Amino acid sequence: MNKIIVLGSINMDLVVSASRVPEGGETISGSRFQTIPGGKGANQAVAIARQGGEVAMIARVGNDGFGDELIAKLAENNVGVKRVKRDDTCSTGVALIVVEKSGQNRIIIVAGANGQVSSADVDEANDLFDQCDYLVMQLEIPLTTVIYAIAAAKSKHIQTVLNAAPAPSSLFEESMLKQIDYLLVNETEAEAIAGMPVKNLKSAYEVAQSLQYKTSGKVILTLGDQGAVAADGNSVWHTPSFKVKAVDTTAAGDAFTGGLINSLQQGIPLKDAIIHANAAGALAACKFGAQPSLPTLEEIREFLFLNMPIKKQ
């Protein structure tokens, strides 16, 4: 039984490590190159599975070597792949990632098969919806498919989770936002949806509250190393981050999302789930690569035991 469905992207990450990003027309030397399984959807599914969650994906890959490897890696991590299709019309999605010495990253995505994920794929996964508690989505697949899946999930009383990443190019319809139970955004994504900038903690409170008014559910606004601000319709609060030495933040947000949803599915209250998610994100930032950096439940528990949850403000 797959209690969590992830509808989203599967990419092969082509990762270059360098001291910095080159200027226009400039060539610099990198220090390392790797091919690493990624894609926000796949990352979040693996994050959930590594923490003991029962999860399956609805997705597409190309009929190529990258697709073969990515499906195998998902299965190896106990992610259900029955509804991951092979598409003969295009390549597997790829992401070109440059990781700077500071741990910050710059990413260019070629959607490939991710751009072909359709409402028909959702319909064909009806068996998964019949045994699901949470549907988790991102924006690396067509928005029309996301909207269709949200409606399908709500018709079956499934909790809907939208990690609105990458940032949408236009404002969402209010009718769509009203069907989202949990909206997860960073500063850039929050500004794109709310039309209000996040400049500091005070403005983060205001933006989170504004977004909550637009939805029927809860909003979690992540602030990188400043933690997260959440709004649930009754209150708005800040949960500080755990301080770590970041080496690669590529999958920190996906680790956060996976940790949050896995905790919620187990009945953990939102405030405590965010602490757990912050720990997952912090641990992921300490390792290189997307999926290789995603922590296990045991690693998160040990981290929390050693660091003690920071008191919420």
pLDDT tens, position by position, 196-216:
999 999 999 999 999 999 988
Report domain extents, the chain.
4-307
- Catalytic annotation, pick one of 87, 181, 254, 272: 254
Going by C-alpha positions, the residue among 232, 215, 216, 245 that lies closest to residue 274 is: 232
Whether a cis peptide bond, with omega within 30° of 0, leads into 240 is no
pLDDT for position 201:
95
pLDDT for position 313:
47
Give me the phi and psi of 155, to 5 degrees please.
-65, -20
Span 109-133, pLDDT tens digits? 899 999 999 999 999 999 999 989 9
Going by C-alpha positions, the residue among 80, 59, 232 that lies closest to residue 149 is: 59
What is d(CA 227, CA 5) in angstroms, rounded to the nearest whole number? 26
Question: Is 254 one of the annotated active-site residues of the chain?
Answer: yes
pLDDT for position 233:
92
How far lies 307's CA from each of 44, 281, 310, in Å?
24, 14, 8
Q: Which fold has domain 4-307?
A: UDP-N-acetylmuramoyl-L-alanine:D-glutamate ligase (3.40.1190)
pLDDT along the chain (313 residues), means of 10: 89 92 93 92 97 96 98 97 97 92 85 98 95 96 96 96 89 85 96 93 96 93 95 96 88 95 96 96 89 93 81 50
